[in-house]
Amino acid sequence: MSVNNELEIAMLALFQTIDLALNLYTWVLIASAIFSWLYAFNVINSSNQFVNSVGMFLYNVTEPLLRPIRRVLPNLGGIDISPIILLLIIFFVRSLMWNSIFPLVA
């Protein structure tokens, strides 16, 4: 096996790992948005310890990336589109990674 071929395999593994992490974060972001809707409409019991811990986990994982987006967005009257903006950014990064960066490496 040549050094170049080993480098390509290592880069492919790195890109696949980054892609998997972004994919998992996408699902966590969707789960967080759904959880916030269920919490806002009192569909779930907020006094339940398990529900509260799941909500805190989702909030703590997604809020560090959503907060800067919320600061930049104008006030839309109670409608939070920051998860949609973040999902678009994640989609853009994944597309850029596979269509622009990886073909240059391979």
Q: What is the pLDDT of residues 32-60, one digit of tens each?
A: 999 999 998 989 988 999 999 999 999 99
Q: Contact 25/32 with Cβ under 8 angstroms? A: no
Predicted confidence (pLDDT) at residue 103 exceeds the cutoff of 80:
no
What is the per-residue burial (b if ≥16 Cβ within 10 Å, else e) of 45-84?
Answer: eeeeeeeeeebeebeeebeeebeebeeeeeeeeeeeebbe
pLDDT band at 5 (very low <50, low <70, confident <90, very high): confident
In one letter, which amino acid is 65? L
DSSP-assigned letter for residue 71: H
Q: Is a pLDDT exceeding 90 seen at residue 70?
A: yes
Taking residues 12-31, report their average pLDDT.
95
pTM equals 0.87
